[in-house]
């Protein structure tokens, strides 16, 4: 089956907006044993869009098109597909009811431009959008194009993903190839090249499986694909024997989820004092439903005043030890653990830059992480470089891995 992605929007050609939709859809297709043969982005330009739609109809069996379904003047994906397929637009009662309900639930009134969103080409099926105003569309073997399937989805990622999961996947499942199963192993706190070396014998032993290794900050993901569960199970056992406690998670889920699940399972709680990470550790944990089982709270102590008022440090102590130092970080970890009555208190201080400020608290890249627990406090000082965002995120991942390894042996 030849499948192609079309992303609509001038912003994808001229700004720093990235088409993340087709990346996500590519991974969804993989789980159905399917893959894109091509991905294209075009601007909000009628001629360019029409030419692309005609080509795609000619060469592909399934076309997944995102964007251009909104209410504004530069949204005309639906209208152009209707032209290409020779279909007229009619008001759709269900879509109109959805639109009115959407606005009513938010206490707002639709603008006149919203009503163009309830026009539907004859022959297309409406895909409801429960969290937005743009309905999707599904064509199966439209007149004159037998065997072709065309799916239009909104460009807003949350709306597209929900529509894909609830509406499109069930319609595509019968077309899926022989499903390929995936084993995912998340390793944290070990560099990619080390994981690569330590797993090379396992990969050779299970060479009939398809291996992918993907690295991101402080984490390495091993993806192993094959048709047989038993072969994947054997590979998993060999990886567990080789990697041991460096494995943060088997199966889906982030390092944040691994840490929350591990602490919840052990009945342990966590309190944070964040200077360098500025709330990012708390934000990444509270992005996960049920984080409050484990996370008591975080003091974002971005200034010396906050280190005193929220972190409980004496101004004299801060004066002696500075805002970025091992004693200050240890004291913050112990104070927040005590204040919030948590099993673990984790503190991060440092300087994520950019730019070297001679009056700054420490050279750019300096990072201290302290973890206070039932048996005392440890402090680490990883070596850091890169952009501000990289250093903040790496400090978050480093901190989570520190908690994970401590909780494992508690």
Residues numbered 377 to 396 that lie near its own copies (CB under 8 A) are: 383, 385-390, 392
Residue list 249-278, contact with its own copies (CB under 8 A): 272, 274, 277-278
DSSP per-residue letters across 122-178: TTPEEE--TTSS--EEEEES-TT-TT-EEEEE-SSHHHHHHHIIIIIHHHHGGG--S
Size of the site for its own copies (CB under 8 A): 104
CA 374 vs CA 260, 342, 344, 368: distances in Å: 18, 10, 8, 20
- Told to check if 191 binds its own copies by CB under 8 A, we report yes
User: If you count them, how many residues does the chain have?
Assistant: 410
Residue list 287-306, contact with its own copies (CB under 8 A): 287, 289, 291-292, 295-303, 305-306
Residue list 56-75, contact with its own copies (CB under 8 A): 59, 70-74
- Told to check if 238 binds its own copies by CB under 8 A, we report no
Q: Which residues contact 108 (CB under 8 A, 6 or more apart)?
A: none
Report the nearest approach of its own copies to the CB of residue 30 (Å).
6
What is the C-alpha separation between 363 and 322, in angstroms, rounded?
Answer: 13
What is the C-alpha separation between 57 and 143, in angstroms, rounded?
Answer: 12
What is the C-alpha separation between 60 and 115, in angstroms, rounded?
Answer: 32
- Told to check if 229 binds its own copies by CB under 8 A, we report no
Find out whether 311 and 335 touch, Cβ atoms under 8 Å: yes
What is the C-alpha separation between 307 and 330, in angstroms, rounded?
Answer: 12
Report the nearest approach of its own copies to the CB of residue 287 (Å).
6
Residue list 82-111, contact with its own copies (CB under 8 A): 105-108, 110-111
Stretch that binds its own copies, among 85-93, 139-147, 166-174, 197-205 (CB under 8 A): 197-205
Report the nearest approach of its own copies to the CB of residue 122 (Å).
26
Q: Around Cβ 153, how many Cβ atoms within 10 Å?
A: 28
Residue list 316-375, contact with its own copies (CB under 8 A): 339-341, 353-355
Q: Which is nearer to its own copies, 12 or 262 (CB)?
A: 12
Burial class (CB in 10 A: 0-12, 13-18, 19+), 54: exposed
Residue list 134-173, contact with its own copies (CB under 8 A): 158, 162
Stretch that binds its own copies, among 43-51, 91-99, 234-242, 257-265 (CB under 8 A): 43-51
Task: Give the residue, chosen from 213, 250, 362, 378, that forms a contact with its own copies under the rule CB under 8 A.
Answer: 213
């Amino acid at each position: 089956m030849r499948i192609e992605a079309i992303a609509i929007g001038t912003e994808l050609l001229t700004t720093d907006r990235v088409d993340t939709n087709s990346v996500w859809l590519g991974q969804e297709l993989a789980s159905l044993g399917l893959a894109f043969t091509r991905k294209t982005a075009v601007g909000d330009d009628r001629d360019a869009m029409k030419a692309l739609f005609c080509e795609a109809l000619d060469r592909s069996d399934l076309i997944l098109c995102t964007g251009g379904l909104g209410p504004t003047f530069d949204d005309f994906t639906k209208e152009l597909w209707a032209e290409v397929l020779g279909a007229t637009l009619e008001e759709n009662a269900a879509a109109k009811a959805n639109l009115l309900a959407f606005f009513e639930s938010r206490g707002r009134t639709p603008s006149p431009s919203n009503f163009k969103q309830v026009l539907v080409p004859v022959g297309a099926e409406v895909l409801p959008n429960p969290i937005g105003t743009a309905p999707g569309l599904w064509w199966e073997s439209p007149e004159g194009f037998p065997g072709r399937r065309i799916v239009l989805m909104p460009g807003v990622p949350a709306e597209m993903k929900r529509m894909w999961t609830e509406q499109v996947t069930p319609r595509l499942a019968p077309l899926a190839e022989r499903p390929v199963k995936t084993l995912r192993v998340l390793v944290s706190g070990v560099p990619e090249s080390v994981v690569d070396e330590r797993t090379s014998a396992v990969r050779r032993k299970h060479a009939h499986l398809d291996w992918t290794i993907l690295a991101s900050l402080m984490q390495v993901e091993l993806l192993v694909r094959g048709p047989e569960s038993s072969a994947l199970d054997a590979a998993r056992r060999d990886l567990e024997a080789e990697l041991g406690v460096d494995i943060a998670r088997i199966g889906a889920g982030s390092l944040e989820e691994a840490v929350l699940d591990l602490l919840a399972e052990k009945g342990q709680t966590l309190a944070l004092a964040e200077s360098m990470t500025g709330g990012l550790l708390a934000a990444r944990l509270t992005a996960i439903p049920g984080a409050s089982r484990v996370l008591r709270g975080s003091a974002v102590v971005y200034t010396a005043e906050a280190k005193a008022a929220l972190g409980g440090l004496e101004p004299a102590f801060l004066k002696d030890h500075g805002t970025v130092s091992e004693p200050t970080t240890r004291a913050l970890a112990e104070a927040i653990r005590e204040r919030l009555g948590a099993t673990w208190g984790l503190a991060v201080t440092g300087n994520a830059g950019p730019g070297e400020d001679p009056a700054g608290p420490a050279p750019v890249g300096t990072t201290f992480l302290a973890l206070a627990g039932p048996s005392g406090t440890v402090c680490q000082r990883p070596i850091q470089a890169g952009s501000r965002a990289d250093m903040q995120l790496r400090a978050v991942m480093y901190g989570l891995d520190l908690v994970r390894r401590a909780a494992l042996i508690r």
